[in-house]
Amino acid sequence: MGAKKQAGKSKKMWTKVLAIVAGVFFVVVMVLSAMGSSWISSLAVVKRGDVAVVDYTIRDSQGQPLLTSNQQLYTQLTSGGSSVMYSKQLTITANQSLTKSVFPVQFYTANTGWASTNQFALFASEYDAISMGIVGLNTNGKKTISLASKQPMTQFWSADQLASNNMSLSSMQVGQLLALGVSDNPEAASDNSTAQYYVRLGEITNKTSDGITLNFAYPSVDVTVVSINKAT
């Protein structure tokens, strides 16, 4: 008789446990249904050949933002007097090298808005670093990617060169940023061909009585994956 009672209690217990499990499963199914397919998308990561849209912020050697597509960050910085540039998000193919020397990025100014001539020069090595660096990130995934170049990105500008561009050597200071034009065709002047010019910010790293040294390299970029379009 005792064995029958014990068996009955055990059966009721398992019935209760199964009822709880079924109830939890039902709740989980309802939650996932309400989320639609977004929870599946959040698990996907950027793979080679995928096209990803990314928010990014390029920083200088002091860690200060130079160019950003993050509207909230841009508004915050400019309200504090920063001269950070604002651009659109990057649409970039993962793990694919750029075939050109420059990847143009459109940027905004208060005077000209989104003018077609407002093009910032992202160098091929920088594009490639971002393209490779986003592999493995999921949607909303964040990463700081090094943009260190194997080749130096410095130029010496003499006092005469500065004067020919309506700039005075005496007004130049170490640490100052200069917005200058860079070409996607360095041989244009010698072979009389045309070239497109893009804006690039250079930092004055040295100043002498003869001229200034400009550094056009940027050490790092912060990226956030906004969306992923899987390769077919």
192-217 pLDDT, tens per residue?
556 788 999 999 999 999 999 999 99
* pLDDT score of 131 more than 60: yes
**168 lies in the same domain as 225:** no
**99 lies in the same domain as 6:** no
**160 lies in the same domain as 144:** no
In a domain, 44, yes or no: no
Range(s) of the domain holding residue 94: 51-151+217-229
Confidence of residue 5 (pLDDT cuts 50, 70, 90): low
Work out the average pLDDT over 151-166: 90
CA pair distance 69, 87, nearest whole angstrom: 5
Report the domain count for the chain: 3
Closest residue by Cα to residue 103 from 56, 71, 46, 43: 56
Give the least confident one: 21-30, 63-72, 145-154: 21-30
Give the least confident one: 38-47, 79-88, 158-167: 38-47
Count how many residues are written for the chain: 232
Closest residue by Cα to residue 68 from 221, 175, 231: 221
Q: What are the pLDDT digits (tens) for 166-197?
A: 999 999 999 999 988 888 775 554 555 567 88
**120 lies in the same domain as 196:** no
pTM of the model: 0.76
CA pair distance 9, 87, nearest whole angstrom: 68
In a domain, 42, yes or no: no
**96 lies in the same domain as 170:** no
In a domain, 43, yes or no: no
Percentage of the chain lying above the pLDDT 90 cut: 58
Q: What is the pLDDT of residue 152?
A: 81
**204 lies in the same domain as 139:** no
Work out the average pLDDT over 116-144: 95
**112 lies in the same domain as 180:** no
Give the least confident one: 46-55, 76-85, 169-178: 76-85
**20 lies in the same domain as 61:** no
**159 lies in the same domain as 211:** yes
**147 lies in the same domain as 82:** yes
Quote the tokens at residue 159.
């006092």
Residue 220: strand pairing partners? 59, 146
Confidence of residue 40 (pLDDT cuts 50, 70, 90): low
